[in-house]
């Protein structure tokens, strides 16, 4: 009987990719071959899995909301292009992300810009280059943007980001309902609406809420969205004008640990007629365009992080597999990206998928810190130096959410595979 973690990782691998004999295959190529060709550590992203996630969500939200890919999850131009090709817009949080979106060919009107500390220079460049909406998050930002718009003699489309009073129960990392630097507290919206309306250079289009990430319960999402529409109604009433957009945020979760469920898209979809009714009943919201801006849900399942074992060591009875990659490339998998309880990401040996024997091992990276641990006392095949280990669910918040400069190892290789085509995103220096 395999331990649950093992079967959980295997189930994920089977549903996203393919297993043939000893090999995990991505895009019909053994991971072993990809690792030999591009070196390790290596992030592999499967474009067809990304499209599958996008299409499933787009179908569930059909006629309700447009999807904007949250670029911070994986700011790779080829991945942004893939989602936009499917019909998505994007949500960005910096000038750097704006530039990648531009390089990926995203139209300015399809870009929404949120973030709690947008600087004058980045605002100016984005306004001059064209932007769908800027989501205002502080009084200073309102003043800064008004001055820039006046200087450039343009009107800037804006939304008010609201930090909601109701917290998102069930989200692993709550960002709403408590003191937060993100957006304006819901209790203060009258004052904020007044400030925005008093600046003729700002065109108030809507509201934006983002209450938390890694939400696996569709009822929690629907409750947040209902609350978002309620806030939108109040903003429209205070402003005395209809809203053009309501951005309900991202936060759609994916399973990382044995026992985690999948977000039930059918149930999510079944809850939308009620929200549509809520929108229709308010003439100021009836024509608003709804936006949902997930990152993790779209990119996460499609990626794996492959590392090679450099040494297999027993220390005082405990077996360690010491690999060439770790928290400097994949902080989240080491449990150090905001997790309160450290639990192991789904992990497997991609060239030993038919192994029948297993033993307990702790898998660690090359950094000189015990924080650099990828799995704690997991059952793995009997692996030795040169063998590969893969961390699943690694397509979002991987390399770019990690302290890549810590200990000065090279950046990992990264590739995107789709329809037999391999796009090299980055090749690790030799
Ligand atoms: C404003 C905003 N939108 C979208 C996202 C994407 O969240 P997720 O990847 O959980 O969908 C984030 C993540 O922090 C965010 O801050």
Number of domains in the chain: 2
Residue at 373 is within a domain: yes
Cβ 332 under 6 angstroms from ligand 1: no
Residues 310 and 266 in one domain: no
Kindly report the three-state secondary structure assignment for every residue of 230-261: HHHHHHHHHHCCCCCEEECCCCECCCCCCCCC
Locus of tokens 């100021």: 284
Predicted local distance difference test score (pLDDT) of residue 341: 82
How many Cβ atoms from other residues are within 10 Å of residue 261's Cβ?
A: 10
The Cα angle at residue 99 between residues 413 and 27, in degrees rounded to 5: 35
Is pLDDT above 70 for 261?
yes
Predicted local distance difference test score (pLDDT) of residue 342: 85
**Using CA of residue 133, residue 134, residue 136, residue 140, what is the dihedral sign?**
negative
Of 294, 319, 350, which residue sits at a domain end? 294
Write the CATH number for 170. 3.20.20.10
Residues 376 and 265 in one domain: no
Residues 127 and 272 in one domain: yes
Pairing, β 245-247 against β 212-213:
unpaired
Of 268, 294, 320, which residue sits at a domain end? 294
Locus of tokens 């309902």: 177
Q: Which residue has the higher pLDDT, 229 or 211?
A: 229
Is pLDDT above 90 for 190?
yes
- Confidence class for position 339, pLDDT limits 50, 70, 90: confident
Residue at 62 is within a domain: no
HSE, CB side, 13 Å, CA atoms: give it for residue 224.
33
Least confident residue range of 267-276, 335-344, 360-369? 335-344
Instruction: State the distance from the centre of ligand 1 to the C-alpha of 112, rounded, in angstroms.
Output: 12
Predicted local distance difference test score (pLDDT) of residue 94: 98
Is pLDDT above 70 for 164?
yes
Residues 177 and 211 in one domain: yes
Spatial CB neighbours of 350, under 8 Å, sequence gap ≥ 6: 23, 24, 30, 31, 32, 35, 304, 306, 388, 389, 390
Best of 159, 172, 207, 293 for a ligand 1 pocket test (most atoms within 8 Å of beta carbon): 293
Instruction: Tell me the CA end-to-end span of the chain in Å, nearest whole number.
Output: 41
Locus of tokens 């308010």: 282
Residues 171 and 312 in one domain: no
Of 294, 314, 346, which residue sits at a domain end? 294
In the three-class reduction of DSSP (H, G, I as helix; E, B as strand; rest coil), residue 208 is classed as strand
Of 331, 317, 322, nearest to 389 by C-alpha is 322
Cβ 300 under 6 angstroms from ligand 1: no
Q: How far is it, in rounded angstroms, from Cα 98 to Cα 130? A: 10
Best of 251, 296, 300 for a ligand 1 pocket test (most atoms within 8 Å of beta carbon): 251
Q: Please, are residues 158 and 200 in contact by the beta-carbon 8 Å criterion?
A: no
Predicted local distance difference test score (pLDDT) of residue 167: 53
Q: Please, are residues 384 and 336 in contact by the beta-carbon 8 Å criterion?
A: no
Cβ 114 under 6 angstroms from ligand 1: yes
Cβ 295 under 6 angstroms from ligand 1: yes
Q: Which residue range forms the structural domain that includes residue 351? A: 4-46+300-426
Instruction: State the distance from the centre of ligand 1 to the C-alpha of 354, rounded, in angstroms.
Output: 37
Tell me the per-residue pLDDT of 234-250, one tens digit each, with 9 for 90 and over. 999 999 999 999 999 99
Q: How far is it, in rounded angstroms, from Cα 71 to Cα 69? A: 6
Residues 265 and 128 in one domain: yes
Residue at 56 is within a domain: no
Residue at 420 is within a domain: yes
Cβ 296 under 6 angstroms from ligand 1: yes
Q: Alpha carbon of 27 to those of 79, 258, 260, 397: distances in Å?
A: 16, 25, 26, 22
Q: How far is it, in rounded angstroms, from Cα 325 to Cα 147? A: 47
Instruction: State the distance from the centre of ligand 1 to the C-alpha of 147, rounded, in angstroms.
Output: 28
Residues 279 and 329 in one domain: no
Predicted local distance difference test score (pLDDT) of residue 340: 79
Kindly report the three-state secondary structure assignment for every residue of 111-160: EEECCCCCCHHHHHHHHHHCCCEEEECCHHHHHHHHHHHHHHCCCEEEEE
Instruction: State the distance from the centre of ligand 1 to the C-alpha of 292, rounded, in angstroms.
Output: 10
Q: Please, are residues 312 and 265 in contact by the beta-carbon 8 Å criterion?
A: no
Predicted local distance difference test score (pLDDT) of residue 211: 84
Cβ 171 under 6 angstroms from ligand 1: no
Predicted local distance difference test score (pLDDT) of residue 66: 98
Q: How far is it, in rounded angstroms, from Cα 141 to Cα 72? A: 21
Predicted local distance difference test score (pLDDT) of residue 50: 98
Q: How far is it, in rounded angstroms, from Cα 48 to Cα 59? A: 16
Q: Please, are residues 328 and 402 in contact by the beta-carbon 8 Å criterion?
A: yes
Residues 22 and 136 in one domain: no
Cβ 252 under 6 angstroms from ligand 1: yes
Tell me the per-residue pLDDT of 136-150, one tens digit each, with 9 for 90 and over. 999 999 999 999 999
Write the CATH number for 381. 2.40.37.10
- Confidence class for position 166, pLDDT limits 50, 70, 90: low
Residues 169 and 288 in one domain: yes
Instruction: State the distance from the centre of ligand 1 to the C-alpha of 91, rounded, in angstroms.
Output: 9
Tell me the per-residue pLDDT of 74-109, one tens digit each, with 9 for 90 and over. 999 999 999 999 999 999 999 999 999 999 999 999
Q: What percentage of the chain reaches a pLDDT higher than 70?
A: 96
The torsion of the CA quartet 349, 351, 353, 358, rounded to 10 degrees, works out to: -50
Of 128, 126, 91, nearest to 112 by C-alpha is 91
Residue 183 DSSP label: S
Residue at 362 is within a domain: yes
Q: Which two tokens stand for residue 345?
A: 């990401």
Predicted local distance difference test score (pLDDT) of residue 69: 98
Instruction: State the distance from the centre of ligand 1 to the C-alpha of 401, rounded, in angstroms.
Output: 13
Instruction: State the distance from the centre of ligand 1 to the C-alpha of 114, rounded, in angstroms.
Output: 10
Residues 284 and 311 in one domain: no
Predicted local distance difference test score (pLDDT) of residue 338: 85
Instruction: State the distance from the centre of ligand 1 to the C-alpha of 371, rounded, in angstroms.
Output: 25
Predicted local distance difference test score (pLDDT) of residue 170: 46
Instruction: State the distance from the centre of ligand 1 to the C-alpha of 368, rounded, in angstroms.
Output: 31
Q: What percentage of the chain reaches a pLDDT higher than 90?
A: 91
Residues 188 and 173 in one domain: yes
Predicted local distance difference test score (pLDDT) of residue 174: 52
Cβ 73 under 6 angstroms from ligand 1: yes
Predicted local distance difference test score (pLDDT) of residue 179: 87
Residue at 36 is within a domain: yes
Residue at 85 is within a domain: no
Q: Which residue has the higher pLDDT, 171 or 302?
A: 302
Residue at 383 is within a domain: yes
Residues 22 and 127 in one domain: no
Q: Pick the residue whose CA is nearest to atom 14 on ligand 1.
A: 213
In the three-class reduction of DSSP (H, G, I as helix; E, B as strand; rest coil), residue 419 is classed as coil
């Amino acid at each position: 009987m395999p331990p649950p973690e093992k079967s959980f990782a295997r189930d994920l691998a089977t549903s996203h990719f393919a297993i043939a004999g000893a090999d995990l295959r991505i895009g019909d190529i053994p991971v072993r071959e990809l690792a030999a060709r591009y070196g390790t550590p290596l992030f592999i992203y499967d474009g067809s899995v990304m499209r599958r996630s996008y299409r499933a969500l787009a179908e569930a939200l059909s006629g309700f909301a447009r999807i904007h890919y949250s670029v911070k999850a994986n700011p790779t131009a080829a991945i942004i292009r893939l989602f936009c090709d499917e019909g998505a817009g994007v949500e960005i949080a910096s000038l750097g992300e704006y530039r990648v979106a531009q390089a990926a060919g995203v139209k300015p009107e399809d870009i929404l810009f949120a973030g709690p500390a947008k600087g004058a220079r980045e605002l100016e460049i984005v306004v001059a280059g064209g932007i769908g909406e800027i989501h205002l998050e502080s009084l200073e930002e309102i003043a800064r943007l008004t001055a820039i718009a006046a200087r450039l003699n343009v009107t800037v489309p804006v939304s008010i980001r609201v930090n909601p009073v109701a917290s998102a129960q069930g989200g692993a990392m709550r960002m709403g309902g408590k003191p937060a630097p993100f957006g304006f507290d819901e209790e203060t919206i009258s004052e904020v609406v007044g400030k925005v309306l008093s600046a003729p250079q700002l065109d108030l289009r809507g509201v934006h809420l983002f209450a938390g990430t890694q939400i696996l319960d569709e009822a929690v999402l629907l409750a947040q969205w209902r609350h978002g529409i309620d806030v939108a109604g109040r903003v429209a009433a205070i402003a005395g004008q209809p809203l053009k957009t309501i951005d309900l945020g991202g936060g759609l979760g994916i399973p990382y640990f044995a026992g985690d469920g999948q977000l039930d898209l059918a149930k999510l979809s079944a809850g939308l007629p009620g929200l549509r009714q809520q929108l229709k009943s308010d003439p100021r919201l009836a024509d608003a365009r709804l936006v949902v801006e997930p990152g993790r849900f779209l990119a996460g399942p499609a990626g794996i992080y492959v590392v090679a074992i450099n040494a297999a060591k027993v220390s005082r009875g405990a077996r360690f597999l010491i690999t060439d990659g770790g928290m400097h490339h994949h902080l989240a998998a080491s449990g150090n990206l905001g997790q309160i309880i450290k639990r192991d990401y789904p992990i497997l040996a991609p060239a030993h998928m038919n192994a029948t024997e297993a033993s307990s091992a702790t898998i660690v990276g090359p950094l000189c810190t015990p924080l650099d641990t990828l799995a704690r006392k997991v059952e793995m095949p009997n692996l030795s130096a040169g063998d590969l280990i893969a961390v699943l669910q690694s397509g979002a918040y991987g390399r770019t959410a990690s302290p890549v400069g810590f200990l000065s190892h090279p950046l990992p290789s990264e590739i995107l595979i789709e329809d037999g085509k391999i796009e090299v995103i980055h090749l690790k220096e030799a």
